[in-house]
């Protein structure tokens, strides 16, 4: 049994989880500090399910069996007509955030830190989205951002698990999982992992009221006064009836998907010409070109002609080597196909390098990502639509909540033209994302944050990176919490009020960062 306060025994851990005292593992924040931050927002035990026979979370029928569905296949064999049934309401919240990627993590954290009773629903078994289940390992456009982004970078550094390379940050995805969980638990955010949002229901005023999930616990309903879609692909907003776009305007074609991986068995001193990283390595020329050439010498040709190795630490690296062209992120057959092909290609490329020997002789693939990285999903229509012209003109807004520095970055849509990055149509300048681009136009009570906000194909290729997803999530979480506390819809809150609370949340995060 552990006596270490940072590693409590299992019984204490369960007790603290249920009570909401979250700062129990690492990070150096004590439970009493938690009480000072947000005393009203304690984590509550998960609700007891109606009809259950002693079970707290699994829906059972009165005789203790699994709840059945009923219905029949139509005469033409085209559809299964499912009978109506009652869905238990799992719980009610001020704010429900769907998707725990960089945007959703921050939205939930900021909402809870603003005093809202907050639930984060995530389909994967960890928080972080492309950061963790996608093994991304590189944060772009996070440096110089205020608030929670600054706190995260400081905490990565403090835990010796992240460092800057130029304007970007590399981190260890495994350590990132724990860091994100620590911060959410400490703030009293309730998390439900392994839970997919599958449907939404609006009231007669077209206000989103309920989301429906599927999980091992069955089909459940969750109610809230404000919802934030951070699913990356805009699942919730689409289910609620919002209009959306996907891909480029002429044919809807989207950027390719990529299967990330982690490697070991090599040392930076030996493979320096191929590693994107510290400035001391720059003397070796362009590492992407060097790696492409090296792979060709090994007899293989990657589908992404800008293959990249990022040094997480000496001996442990992230790799980005493939492009899966032509699939849709919201067609599960396509995503499955891309996943199978991507994983096969990563294995094939690395096996060829290892076979080449020399500095690669002990190369090992540690893991490929559980979730293939999808660059382009639904872009939900908001009250403002960010355009490529806004980037070109460096547009600023009175309700600007995120200054994007990263430029246009379209990964090849057509492998016949290029298998790398497409030529930029024009140069962009730093520009603002206005809060209105995150407020759904077609359904009330709903915001978006991250890559599914309202904008065109070119603009999306820039603002989708994770430093910006975090900063958008922070503002969406605050705005939703303020709307709930003011008892109005999010679009009706004067921006000055959002700005005041956002300033406070940012100042608090910067204090934690030690600024
Ligand atoms: C291969 C690749 C490389 C990239 N390179 C970089 C880079 O180097 N640096 C950088 O900063 N950015 C990079 N990007 C862009 C960036 O990673 C994404 O745009 C970013 O993840 C956006 O964050 P998000 O939170 O909006 O979405 P996501 O990270 O996609 O998170 C969405 C979350 O929602 C969950 N979810 C989805 N649907 C549901 C549902 N129905 N119910 C419940 N949960 C759901 C997902 O499991 C996931 O956790 C890259 C993207 C890809 C794909």
Q: What is the CA radius of gyration of the chain?
A: 23
pLDDT at 277: 72
Of 219, 207, 213, 172, the residue nearest 191 (C-alpha): 213
Nearest CA to ligand 1 atom 2: 373
Q: How many CB atoms are located within 10 Å of the residue 40 CB?
A: 8
Q: Please, is 450 exposed, middle or buried when counting C-beta atoms within 10 Å of its C-beta (0-12, 13-18, 19+)?
A: buried
pTM over 0.95: no
The residue contributing the CA closest to ligand 1 atom 38 is 231
* Residue identifier of the C-alpha nearest atom 8 of ligand 1: 138
Task: Please tell me the predicted confidence (pLDDT) of residue 30.
Answer: 34
171, 466, 471, 473: residue to mutate for ligand 1 pocket, most atoms within 8 A of CB: 466
How far, in Å, is the centroid of ligand 1 from the Cα of 164?
Answer: 21
Cα 259 to ligand 1 centre (Å): 13
Of all atoms in ligand 1, which is nearest to the CA of residue 406?
Answer: 11
What's the confidence (pLDDT) of residue 69? 87
Instruction: Tell me if 192 sits within 8 A of 124, measured CB to CB.
Output: no
Residue 288: C-alpha distances to residues 80, 277, 306, 307, 353 (Å): 51, 11, 5, 5, 15
What is the rounded end-to-end Cα distance, in angstroms, of the chain? Answer: 38
Q: Which residues 6+ apart lie within 8 Å of 351 measured at CB?
A: none
Whether the CB-CB separation of 346 and 259 falls below 8 Å is answered with: yes
Span from the CA of 445 to the centroid of ligand 1 (angstroms): 23
- Ligand 1 centroid distance, CA of 487 (Å): 31
Q: What pLDDT does 63 receive?
A: 76
Ligand 1 atom at minimal distance to the Cα of residue 473: 25
Give the model's pLDDT for residue 316: 96
Task: Quote the ligand 1 centre to 232 CA distance (angstroms).
Answer: 6
Task: Find the 302 Cα to ligand 1 centroid distance in Å.
Answer: 23
SS3 per residue for 246-285: CCCCCCCCCCCEECEEEEECCCHHHHHHHEECCHHHHHHC
* Other beta carbons within 10 Å of 65: 9
Cβ(447)–Cβ(473) below 8 Å: no
The residues facing 21 across adjacent strands are none
Structure tokens at 184: 């959410």
How far is Cα 233 from Cα 380, in angstroms, rounded to an integer?
Answer: 9
Q: Which amino acids bring their CB within 6 angstroms of ligand 1? A: 98-104, 121-124, 129-130, 136, 138-140, 196-197, 230-233, 235, 258, 373-375, 450-451, 464-467, 469
Q: Are 257 and 134 in contact (CB under 8 A)?
A: no
Task: Determine contact, residues 452/377, Cβ cutoff 8 Å.
Answer: yes
Expressed in angstroms and rounded, the spacing between residue 346 Cα and the centre of ligand 1 is: 20
DSSP string, 281-326: GGGG--HHHHHHHHHHHTT---SSSS-EEEEEETTEEEEE---B-S
**Residue-level pLDDT, tens digit, the chain, 515 residues:** 333 443 444 445 444 444 433 332 233 333 333 333 344 444 555 554 444 444 445 566 777 777 788 999 999 999 999 999 889 999 999 999 999 999 999 999 999 999 999 999 999 999 999 999 999 999 999 999 999 999 999 999 999 998 999 889 999 999 999 999 999 999 999 999 999 999 999 999 999 999 999 999 999 999 999 999 999 999 999 999 999 999 999 999 999 999 999 999 999 999 999 998 754 556 778 999 999 999 999 999 999 999 999 999 999 999 999 999 999 999 999 999 999 999 999 999 999 999 999 999 999 999 999 999 999 999 999 999 999 999 999 999 999 999 999 999 999 999 999 999 999 999 999 999 999 999 999 999 999 999 999 999 999 999 999 999 999 999 999 999 999 999 999 999 999 999 999 999 999 999 999 98
Going by the DSSP 8-state scheme, the letter that residue 83 receives in this structure is: P
In the numeric block, the tokens 């392994």 are attached to: 194
Q: How far is the CA of 504 from the centre of ligand 1 (A)?
A: 27
Which residue puts its alpha carbon closest to atom 53 of ligand 1?
Answer: 373
d(CA 298, CA 107): 45
Choosing from 164, 170, 231 the residue with most ligand 1 atoms within 8 A of its CB, the one to mutate for a pocket test is 231
Q: How many whole angstroms separate alpha carbon 290 and alpha carbon 159?
A: 32
Which is nearest to 464 in space by CA: 477, 479, 448?
A: 448
* Distance in Å, CA 499 to ligand 1 centroid: 26
Cβ proximity of 507 and 150 under 8 Å: no
Note the pLDDT of residue 435: 98
Atom 15, ligand 1: residue with shortest CA distance:
465
- The answer to whether 297 and 285 have CB atoms below 8 angstroms apart is no
């Amino acid at each position: 049994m552990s006596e270490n306060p940072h590693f409590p025994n299992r019984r204490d851990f369960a007790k603290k989880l249920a009570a909401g005292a979250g700062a129990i593992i690492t990070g150096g924040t004590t439970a009493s500090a938690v009480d000072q931050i947000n005393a009203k927002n304690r984590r509550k035990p998960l609700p007891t399910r109606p009809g259950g026979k002693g079970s707290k979370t699994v829906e059972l029928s009165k005789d203790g069996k699994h709840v059945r569905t009923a219905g029949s296949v139509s005469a033409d064999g085209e559809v299964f007509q499912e009978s109506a049934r009652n869905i238990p309401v799992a719980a009610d919240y001020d704010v429900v955030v769907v998707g725990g990627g960089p945007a959703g993590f921050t939205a939930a954290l900021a909402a809870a830190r603003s005093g809202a009773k907050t639930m984060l629903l995530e389909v994967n078994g960890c928080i972080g989205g492309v950061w963790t289940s996608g093994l991304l390992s590189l944060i772009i456009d996070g440096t110089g951002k205020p608030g929670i982004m600054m706190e995260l970078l400081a905490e990565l550094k403090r835990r010796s698990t992240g460092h800057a390379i130029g304007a970007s940050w590399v981190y260890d995805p495994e350590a990132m999982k724990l860091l994100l969980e620590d911060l959410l638990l400490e703030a009293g955010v309730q998390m439900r992992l392994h839970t997919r949002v599958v449907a939404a229901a609006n009231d007669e005023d077209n206000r989103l009221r309920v989301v429906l999930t599927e999980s091992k616990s069955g089909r459940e309903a969750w109610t809230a006064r404000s919802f934030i879609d951070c699913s990356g692909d805009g699942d919730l907003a689409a289910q609620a009836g919002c209009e959306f776009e996907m891909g480029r305007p002429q044919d809807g074609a989207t950027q390719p998907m990529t299967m990330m991986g982690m490697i070991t068995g090599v040392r930076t001193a030996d493979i320096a010409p191929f590693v994107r990283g510290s400035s001391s390595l720059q003397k070796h020329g362009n590492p992407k070109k060097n790696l492409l050439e090296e792979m060709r010498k090994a007899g293989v040709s990657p589908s992404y002609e800008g293959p990249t190795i990022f040094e997480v630490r000496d001996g442990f690296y992230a790799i980005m080597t493939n492009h899966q062209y032509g699939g849709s992120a919201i067609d599960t057959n396509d995503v499955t196909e891309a996943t199978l092909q991507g994983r096969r290609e990563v294995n094939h490329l690395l096996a060829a390098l290892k076979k080449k020997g020399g500095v690669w002789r002990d190369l090992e693939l540690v893991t490929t990502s559980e979730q293939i990285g999808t660059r382009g999903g639904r872009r939900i229509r908001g009250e403002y639509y960010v355009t490529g012209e806004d980037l070109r003109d460096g547009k600023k807004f009175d309700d600007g909540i995120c200054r994007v520095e990263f430029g246009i970055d379209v990964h090849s849509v057509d492998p016949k033209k290029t298998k790398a990055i497409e030529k930029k149509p024009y140069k962009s300048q730093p520009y603002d994302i206005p809060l209105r681009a995150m407020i759904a136009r077609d359904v009330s009570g709903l915001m978006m944050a991250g890559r599914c906000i309202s904008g065109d194909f070119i603009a999306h290729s820039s603002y989708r990176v994770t430093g910006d997803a975090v900063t958008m999530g922070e503002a969406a979480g605050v705005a939703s919490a303020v709307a709930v506390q003011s008892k109005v819809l999010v679009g009706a809150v004067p921006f000055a009020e959002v700005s005041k609370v956002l300033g406070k949340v940012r100042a608090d995060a910067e204090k934690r960062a030690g600024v």
